[in-house]
Structure 1
Amino acid sequence: MLILTRRDVEHLLTMPDAIAAVEEGFRQLAAGAVEMPQRLVTSVTPYNGVHLSMPAFVAGDPGTLTIKVVTVYNDNRARYDLPTIHAVLLLHDARTGKPLALMDAEHLTAMRTGAVSGVATRHMARPDARVVTIFGTGVQAGPQLLAMAAVRPIQQVYVVSRSNPHDFAVQMTDQLHIPVTVAHDVRSAVEAADIICTATNSPIPLFPGEWLRAGVHINAIGTYTKTTRELDSEAVRRSRVVVDRRQAAQVEAGDIVIPLQEGVIGPEHIIAELADIVTGAVAGRTSPEEITLFKSVGLALQDAMTAALVYRRAVEQGVGQSVEL
């Protein structure tokens, strides 16, 4: 079995390749070639944490079979100076069940989450979108910007965060070679945006929905429980809403669950799953003035497709440590 460290994954995985892999995963989902049970969530209440188990099988030749195990502990940074998210992924040979690789999945998770936003943005944002406003500076934030820059001609990024926004802005300016600046006026940053990415663990909405200007596209990827949300009900009501999977969004995503409970929207307000958009069965955008929203809770097929790509590259390049079980 091959052991791949975070550094290995960082070396092997680029954002354009991750976007292509994830997009193909959604095509396979649309074709009925994916087995993906609802992820199992185990609460670790005394420590403000959750443990997530996410299996997936994507058919094909030879197909890919994975399970990712993730922990999310929201107090880690304040209490222990540790990352909020820890994750590992086990990749099996889909034909025999033999374990092929165990890899660090923290960077992989951030990259595949950025990649799915890239897929959604490619199909839903205006082609001329040039200004991004991002909420959050955690591990998910950088890959979100990498993905936006991979699919749209981004010329300016505004950062809204209470945690090290200046350091993040400097880092991403160097990485993207475009101006990334800290926004001191949240409303101005929202109103200026062609694309908004919310990548926080905020339990309450980040801004009033009436601030959204016509034509903006939103990727909401931070919150993942039914009682927390980054967007208020007005933002959701005004938007053409696409989700990664209806069942998951209507159970796990507070951005969707809460407006449904309030009666602000009905189930029909979700116009499609991302797989429908990718295959062209449903249009991602119907006019330049439309506000579009992609809400992601994260699907195991994204991990499966991205991990399979990493493994293939590792074998081709001789990266990783081989161990006998």
Structure 2
Amino acid sequence: MRILTKKDVQAVYTMKDAIADDKIALAAYSKGDATVPLRTNIDVQAEHGQSLYMPGYAAGEQPALGVKIVSVYPDNIDKGLPSVPATMVSLDPKTGIVSAIIDGTYLTQLRTGALQGAATDLLANPDAKVATLIGTGGQAPTQLEAMLNVRQLTRVYVSDIDHDRATKFAQDMTDRFGKQFNVDILPANDLSKAIRASDIITSVTTSKQATFDAADVQPGTHINGIGAYTPEMHEIPAALVQRADSVIFDTMDGVLAEAGDMITPLKEGLVTKAHYAGELGQLINGKIKGRQRHDQVTLFKAVGTAVLDVVVAEKILQAADKQHVGTSVDL
């Protein structure tokens, strides 16, 4: 069994790797070559916490099997501990024996950023140059990194409900990515103006109301809704959902069960289910069409799926084995 920390993962596996492997995972899911049971949620009332278990299996030439364990313990902040710790347990699909334990927090950030990167790669206009990132939480750095990996952006605006936080994030990301990608990363002093100038918009928040105005979105823009994952959350404007020429999800069942910003327009009759074109895996498999014209508005909505975790974890393990990275433990 191999134990892999965040640093270990970063030493053997890149964002480009994750984007490619997320595409493989979604293609398998949409083909029916993956088994993703509903997650198990254990309520730990005594500690005001929850423990979630997200198993998955992907078949194919390189099968992957595992379970991600995610805990939500808000009181951990007072103890100086992570409030949402996560661990990925990978198993050998041929034997069922545990093959790796991986930092699940970083794995989640990586595969989620890569998920948006895959959608942006497939749906945004090839000549996209300006983007806006809304939200500067734990998922934001990999969301930014993914956009920079799939398009040659010259400018990225960063927005947050706390402008000082957005300013600090923009500076930190400039130090991290500015020279590498030759990009200006700036706080959005005027979000409406930033949205109007953007070819790509990525919102990664848990907001219960729209994080930007649909009227500011220009023809040809690609939008990613990555943050909202409950029926109460609505970061994407309903008017934009209605207006979009192509609306594609990571998983149809997941989004229509969990994402309020896609469920509500359907319930209110603003759109019909036919307005939702299908899954990104179906686009990858050539079963549906994505962007057809430069002036179309495309929208990608994701809530995440365990198939991404197991496939990316297996690919990380293979890379770590090949390069002899991590700590090996004999069971």
| TM-score, with structure 2 as normaliser | 0.91
Cα drift, residue 167 of structure 1: 2.1
Q: Which amino acid aligns with 2:188?
A: A
Task: Name the CA shift for 1:94/1:147 in 2 (closer, same or farther; >3 Å).
Answer: same
2:305 maps to 299
* Mapped partners of 2:231, 2:185: distance in 1: 32
Could you tell me which residue of structure 1 aligns to residue 294 of structure 2? 288
CA deviation digits over 1:262-301, x for unaligned, max 9? Answer: 2212211211111111122212112111111100000111
Q: Verify: 1:180 aligned to 2:197, yes or no.
A: no
Amino acid at match of 1:292: T
TM-aligned CA distance change 1:52 to 1:33, over 3 Å: same
What is the CA distance between 1:131 and its match in structure 2? 0.6
CA change 1:148–1:76 in 2 (3 A) is farther
Once the two structures are superposed, the pairs formed by residues 29-40 of structure 1 within 5 Å of their partners are 29-40=29-40
Identity, % of aligned positions: 38
Cα distance change, pair 45–140 in 1 and its aligned pair in 2 (3 A): farther
Paired with 2:230 and 2:324, the residues of 1 have a C-alpha distance of 40
Partners of 1:6 and 1:75 lie apart in 2 by 24
Does the residue aligned with 1:249 lie in a helix, a strand or coil? helix
**Distance across 1 between alignment mates of 2:210 and 2:46:** 25
Task: Give how far 1:46 is off.
Answer: 8.6
Alignment of 1:41-120 (within 5 A): 41-42=41-42, 50-72=50-72, 83-120=82-119
**2:200 corresponding residue in structure 1:** 195
Check 1:65–1:256 CA distance in 2 against 1; reply closer, same or farther (3 A cut): same
Q: Distance in 1 between matches of 2:185 and 2:169?
A: 9
Offset, 1:251: 0.5
* 2:168 alignment partner AA: D
Task: Tell whether the 8 Å contact from 2:201 to 2:222 is kept in structure 1 after alignment.
Answer: yes
Would the alpha carbon gap of residues 174 and 53 (structure 1) be closer, same or farther in structure 2, given more than 3 Å must change?
A: same
Q: In the alignment, which of 224, 235, 244 is matched to residue 250 of structure 2? A: 244
Deviations 1:10-62 (A, max 9, x none): 22221001111111112222332211123334566897765432211111345
**Residue identity matched to 2:152:** P
The Cα of 1:169 is off from its aligned counterpart by 0.8
Give 1:153's aligned amino acid: Q
Q: CA deviation at 1:232?
A: 2.0
How has the CA–CA distance of structure 1 residues 63 and 109 changed in structure 2, closer, same or farther, with 3 Å as cutoff?
A: same
- Spell out, residue by residue over 1:141-160, the C-alpha distance to the aligned partner (whole angstroms, 9 max, x if none): 11111111111111100000
Tell me if 1:212 matches 2:213.
no
Aligned residue type for 1:311 = L
Relative to structure 1, the CA distance from residue 142 to residue 317 in structure 2 (aligned partners, 3 Å threshold; closer, same or farther) is same
Contact in 2 for aligned 1:50/1:71 (Cα 8 Å): yes
C-alpha contact (below 8 Å) 1:62/1:94 kept by paired residues: no
Find the aligned partners of 1:255 and 1:49 in 2 and give their Cα distance: 26
Contact kept, 8 Å, 1:38 with 1:248, in 2: the verdict is no
- Which of 245, 250, 266 in structure 1 is aligned with 2:272? 266
Residue 161 (structure 1) aligned with residue 151 (structure 2): no
- Tell me the CA shift for residue 124 of structure 1: 0.7
Checking the alignment, whether the CA contact within 8 Å between 2:156 and 2:186 is kept in structure 1 is: yes
Q: Which residue of 2 aligns with 1:122?
A: 121
Q: Could you state the TM-score of these two structures normalised by the residue count of structure 1?
A: 0.93
Match of 2:233 in 1: 228
CA distance in 2, matches of 1:286, 1:185: 31
3-state SS of paired residue (1:128): coil
Within 1, Cα distance between the matches of 2:202 and 2:290? 17
* Equivalence for 1:16: 16
Q: Distance in 1 between matches of 2:130 and 2:205?
A: 19
**One-letter identity of the residue aligned with 2:15:** M
For residues 105-140 of structure 1, the C-alpha deviation after alignment (integer angstroms, 9 at most, x for no partner) is 111111101111111111111111111100111121
CA distance in 2, matches of 1:186, 1:48: 36
Aligned to 1:309: 315
1:171 and 2:172 are equivalent in the alignment: yes
Alpha-carbon distance in 1 for matches of 2:92, 2:293: 44
Residue 137 of structure 1: aligned partner: 136
8 Å contact from structure 1 (residues 229, 255) kept in 2: yes
Note if contact 2:41-2:53 (Cα within 8 Å) is conserved in structure 1.
Answer: yes
* Conserved? CA contact 2:30–2:279, under 8 Å: no
